[in-house]
Amino acid sequence: LRICEALELLHSKGFIHRDVKPEHVLITPEQRVVLIDLDASMRIISERSSDTQLIGTAMYAAPEQFGLTRSDSRTDIYAMGILINEMLTGYHPAVQQHRKGSLGRIIEKCTKISPADRYQSIGELAESLHDAARDAERGTSPKLRKIAMAVTVAICAVTLILSPGSGSSGDSDMSAPAIKKGEKNSE
């Protein structure tokens, strides 16, 4: 949800991130979530029929980022679906897709090939995530909720630690909704 807040701020300014992935999500010791690295971001220009520059990380890139149509906020929604799946399973949906319950339905909708079949705004995705969290809390004991939260935090931490290039750039962070420009990759 904190990543959705950061993306909603970025989208409201007319930009999309185009490279949402574990390496670009940091969790501070205070448990704040920070979205970094705007190197692949672009201004949304509705008059264009396709992107003029193909950029982003292939495993997280929506089909439209490969030049078929133009990218828009639904491009970031596609990447969010992959990120949520990885948080739950540790894998890209092409390897193992989480299909259970409301989170499975959310991931499936986020990662539809056609942007028209995805959530149409990051706010709409955030609302579905809020609903899923509320539904999960209703059917779970307080003790089990605490265990689930601890497991979720651990999975996020392990995913970020094991992801290639997940080192800190040393820049100071900002509270979410936080967007921070990362250093260029020198590889």
Q: Annotated active-site positions, please?
A: 19
Residues 6+ apart with CB under 8 A from 100: none
Q: Which two tokens stand for residue 83?
A: 């990120």
| Closest residue by Cα to residue 76 from 133, 123, 146 | 123
Tokens standing for 119? 């959530």
- The residue with tokens 């970020």 is 160
Q: For the chain, first and last CA: distance in Å?
A: 31
Q: 21: helix, coil or strand?
A: coil
Return the structure tokens found at 58.
Answer: 């292939």
35 touches 174 (CB < 8 A) = no
Rg (CA), the chain: 16
Go through the chain and tell me how many residues it has.
187
Residue from 24, 26, 6 nearest 16 by CA: 6
Amino acid at 43: R
